[in-house]
Amino acid sequence: MTDPTHLPAVPDPEPAVPDPAVPDPVEPVTDYTDDGVPTFSYVRDRIEGRAATAAAAEELAGGDARAAEAEDAFAERERRAADRLAEIRRSMER
């Protein structure tokens, strides 16, 4: 066996660094008071959200005359394309 006095010296371990203090848990912010009543900002946000949704739905429902014109123009192009395709097929049968 080896004589322990001839082994290299092992350095002393560094002292452990203490963890930073863990803060107390923060109570989550809710849209209701402790009594279960919705807050004013929550109610306001809900009303504004519903108003925005209603306005967007009205806009998408075709309240815009340009959308109707575009649909009519598309239908007309589709009809002309179908007529032209039928004409080409008839000419190939001859």
Residue 54 lies in a domain: yes
Q: Is residue 46 part of a domain?
A: yes
Q: Per the domain annotation, does 23 fall within a domain?
A: no
In a domain, 4, yes or no: no
Tell me the pLDDT of the chain (94 aa) as tens digits. Answer: 566 667 777 777 777 776 677 777 777 778 888 888 999 999 999 999 999 999 888 877 766 777 788 889 999 999 999 999 999 999 998 7
pTM: 0.39
% helix / strand / coil in the chain, to the nearest 5?
Answer: 55, 0, 40
Is 29 within a domain? no
The pLDDT, as a whole number, for residue 63 is: 63
Domain count for the chain, please give it. 1
Domain extent for 86: 40-93
Instruction: Count CB-CB contacts under 10 A for residue 39.
Output: 13
**Residue pLDDT, tens place only, 30-55:** 888 888 899 999 999 999 999 999 98
In terms of phi and psi (left: phi > 0; alpha: psi -120 to 50; beta: otherwise), the region of 87 is alpha
Here the tokens at position 23 are: 């803060």
Q: Evaluate whether 69 touches 77 at the Cβ level (below 8 Å).
A: no
Domain assignment of residue 58, yes or no? yes
Q: Is 25 part of a structural domain of the chain?
A: no
Q: Is residue 79 part of a domain?
A: yes
